[in-house]
Amino acid sequence: MMENSRMKFYCDDSRCIECDGCSIACAEAHELPVGIARRKVITLNEGIPGKEVSTSIACMHCTDAPCAQVCPVDCFYIRVDGIVLHDKDKCIGCGYCLYACPFGAPQFPRDGAFGTKGAMDKCTMCAGGPLETNSTKEFHLYGQNRISEGKVPVCAAMCSTKALLVGDSESISSIIRARVSTRGGRGGNTGFIWNQAYKTK
């Protein structure tokens, strides 16, 4: 698979206004249980004037997905387009993926405050799961399958400032180049996140 054809997320932190629209849209569209947040907005350098920067973060669908490398039951699989998905029927809830993920993407629902962990949940880039496409069971376990309908993930669709981008790396790069050129060469600070997920220099 060509690296440029992989589906990727990018958050232009110069546009993110920390509205949480992406995380709320995700939770609503997928009817996520309380305590599960597939997407979060975080603020770096909080309280430092002129240095604060907000960014939207979720599973980055990494090139070499550390979660998949440590899973003892091989519940992760990577689609041809680079989207990293998982099979909840295989997941044993061990939590290895959570410790391996540099973004804290894996989430584990609990049965009550001190109950047992359930199967892992994470961002699917709105691509569903291993079940029949757009079936009731697929929606119940994995949420909407917008990718199969030719739509972008709901988080990116609902981003009011278009800070959150999704697509193949060539498309995203051309958008970012145009934005940086318009800003007079000042880029955002999310290069670290992009480099961690996609191993670029």
Q: Percentage of the chain with pLDDT > 90?
A: 65
Residue 35: predicted pLDDT: 84
pTM of the full predicted structure?
A: 0.83
Q: Percentage of the chain with pLDDT > 70?
A: 87
Q: Are 148 and 127 in contact (CB under 8 A)?
A: yes
Band of residue 145 on the pLDDT scale cut at 50, 70, 90: very high
For the four alpha carbons of 68, 75, 101 and 54, in that order, the dihedral sign comes to: positive
Residue 100: predicted pLDDT: 96
Closest by CA position to 190, among listed 67, 62, 43: 43
Residue 1: predicted pLDDT: 47
Residue 22: predicted pLDDT: 96
Six token digits for residue 40: 């979060």
d(CA 144, CA 31): 9
Give all domains of the chain, ordered by start, each with its CATH number: 3-198 (3.30.70.20)
Closest by CA position to 9, among listed 123, 166, 177: 166
Closest by CA position to 13, among listed 200, 187, 194, 201: 187
Six token digits for residue 184: 């007079």
Amino acid at 188: G
Of residues 21 and 183, more confidently modeled: 21
Lowest mean pLDDT among 61-75, 115-129, 139-153: 115-129
Of residues 188 and 199, more confidently modeled: 199
Amino acid at 31: E
